Amino acid sequence: MNEVLLNLEDICFAYDGIVALRHVSFNVKRGETMVLQGSNGCGKSTLLKLINGLVYAEQGSYTFDGQVIDEKALKNSSFSKNFHQRIGFVFQNPDVMLFCNNVRDEIAFGPTQMGYDSETVEKRVNDLLAALDIERLAERAPYQLSGGEKKRVALASVLSMNPEVLVLDEPLAGLDRRTQDWLIDFLQALQGAGKTIIISTHDDELAHLLGDRILYMNEDHSVNYIL
Ligand SMILES: Nc1ncnc2c1ncn2[C@@H]1O[C@H](COP(=O)(O)OP(=O)(O)OP(=O)(O)O)[C@@H](O)[C@H]1O
Ligand SMILES: [Mg+2]
């Protein structure tokens, strides 16, 4: 577990002058689980967005599997498509990622785009509907669901693509205890299978349970320490 998969060096980022990341440097090795912790507003979600190529560093560099990820690289549509298939992101707010007419289509979207045949896609969708206990929601419109239901659908829609790297922003937030327990077991199984996982959480128990390393951010948006 020594091969560096993601490497961030001296990353700085601000939203129209509002600083969110200050000289952030760290790496994530293949097969490792890295947990981000820190107080509200310290920059965890921004860092995860940057890792997923949704915002770009103003200073510093980010490489994924040795390739520079910046605005120029992601303008190349085949590079961008490949990158987004390798790294899956479940947002803190699932509303921004649900756009299909019903839950079944939402979960099927990713693997269909990736070119899997309809039988494989259907099996994946059914397995995830069952695993996340959302079978009864399959024909419902995602935007009408409760917060926790949306979170489950958002998780299923990313898990259905089986990405090489799984990035989860506050994955337990808004989930009931049973679903939290299921998700922790599921993530531990993925860890056992060698998946690279990056998670932000306010839950110390989860951080220590899953994290190979934990990165603590300061309120001034810099890295405090990595344990
Ligand atoms: N779209 C935006 N426009 C302007 N400022 C933003 C935007 N999103 C975040 N910020 C600011 O950037 C900083 C970092 O926000 P971020 O959402 O990354 O924090 P966080 O660590 O994820 O917080 P939380 O624990 O509350 O989820 C905060 O000061 C926030 O106010
Ligand atoms: Mg956040």
pLDDT, averaged across the chain: 94
> Shortest CA distance to 67 belongs to which of 4, 11, 22?
4
CB of 108 within 6 A of ligand 1: the answer is no
The DSSP letter of residue 167 is E
Q: Is the CB of 45 under 6 A from ligand 1?
A: yes
pLDDT at 224: 87
**What sign for the dihedral angle of Cα 93, 47, 181, 139?**
positive
The Cα–Cα gap between 28 and 46 comes to 17
What are 132-153's pLDDT values in tens digits?
889 999 999 999 999 889 989 9
pLDDT of residue 220: 96
How would residue 120 be classed by pLDDT, with cut points 50, 70 and 90? Answer: very high
CA dist., res. 65 & res. 204, Å (int): 29
CA proximity to 47, closest of 200, 214, 211, 212: 200
In contact, 11 and 215? CB cutoff 8 Å: no
Per the CB < 8 A criterion, the answer to whether 89 and 64 are in contact is: no
Determine contact, residues 221/20, Cβ cutoff 8 Å: yes
Residue 1 predicted with pLDDT over 70:
no
**DSSP conformation letters of 82-111:** HHHHHEEEE-SSGGGG--SSSHHHHHHHHH
Q: Ligand nearest 217 Cα, by number? A: 1
- Per-residue model confidence (pLDDT) at position 95: 87
Q: Give the nearest ligand 1 atom to 21 CA.
A: 14
> Which tens digits make up the pLDDT trace of 23-50?
999 999 999 999 999 999 999 999 999 9
Domain total in the chain: 1
Mutate which of 11, 12, 13, 15 for ligand 1 pocket (most atoms within 8 A of beta carbon):
15
**Confidence category of residue 179, pLDDT binned at 50, 70, 90:** confident
- What's the pLDDT score for residue 94? 87
Is the CB of 42 inside a 6 Å radius of any atom of ligand 1? yes
What pTM was computed for the model? 0.93
Whether residue 28 contacts residue 198, with contact meaning beta carbons closer than 8 Å, is answered with yes
**Contact between residue 204 and residue 4 where contact means Cβ atoms under 8 Å apart:** no
Which residue range(s) make up the domain with 185? 4-226
Distance from Cα 95 to the centre of ligand 1, integer Å: 17
Q: Is the pLDDT of residue 164 over 70?
A: yes
CATH of the domain at 67: 3.40.50.300
Q: For the residues 74-84, what does the mean pLDDT come to?
A: 94
